[in-house]
Amino acid sequence: MKPKHKIRPCEPADIRFDRKVSMEPMSGCWIWMGSTNQGGYGCFMAESGWASGVESTKMVAHRFNYERYRGPIPEGMDLDHLCRVRCCVNPWHLEPVTHGENLRRGIGPALTRARFAKYRGRACCIRGHVLSPDNVLRDGSKIGLRCRACHNTRQNMRKMEARRRAKLCMQGQKLAGA
């Protein structure tokens, strides 16, 4: 029976894994440069495949590296990226937490709505900006009200980051995580 995936023969998983990691010195993140899934998490074939006669097993890269350096993940626990970088595989940026805690720490739209709901009826946003009629955006989304000052700050940060990335690309530099 042929295995599902062909991988370089006789090469240990640790060596193959390390070739796909780039260290980011400013944040300490170990950026996964290999393939990623739709959620942005790294994917890795843990077994060496057809040369050893073992069927390849595809797994999430940060889980492989966590188990490699820190030991098994406790039963029923998820790994939370403390750095908030999904393609980071640094085992010291990962913490085993329950699934519910991992969701609470996340940034999904349902969680954003839940966080914002506790500020409804208040005079200020979470950053202290006054929520007057001229400082509130009603964008028709499910989130509802937004602080205009916070929104403008986020938009400006996104534009600056896009300009920085474009400048790096024009200079021929490789972007971490891209």
Which of 87, 106, 125 lies at the terminal end of a domain, its last residue? 106
Residue with tokens 């050893």: 52
Q: Domain of residue 114: give its range.
A: 108-171
When pLDDT is cut at 50, 70 and 90, the band that residue 166 belongs to is confident
- Report the DSSP pairing between strands 145-147 and 136-138: antiparallel
Inside any domain, residue 127: yes
Q: What contacts 99, CB < 8 A, 6 or more positions away?
A: 76, 78
d(CA 178, CA 163): 15
Nearest to 59 by CA among 76, 41, 74, 72: 41
- Do 66 and 23 have their domain in common? yes
**Dihedral sign from CA coordinates of 133, 135, 139, 141:** negative
pLDDT of amino acid 118: 52
Number of folded domains that form the chain:
2
Phi, psi for 137 (deg, rounded to 5): -100, 135
Please tell me the distance from the alpha carbon of residue 95 to that of residue 72, in angstroms, as a whole number. Answer: 12
Of the pLDDT bands very low, low, confident and very high (cuts 50, 70, 90), residue 127 is: confident
* pLDDT for the residue 173: 64
Residue 178 lies in a domain: no
* Tokens found for residue 137: 């955006």
pTM, entire model = 0.56
d(CA 143, CA 114): 9
Residue 137 within any structural domain of the chain = yes
Using CB atoms within 10 A of its CB, is residue 42 exposed (0-12), middle (13-18) or buried (19+)? Answer: buried
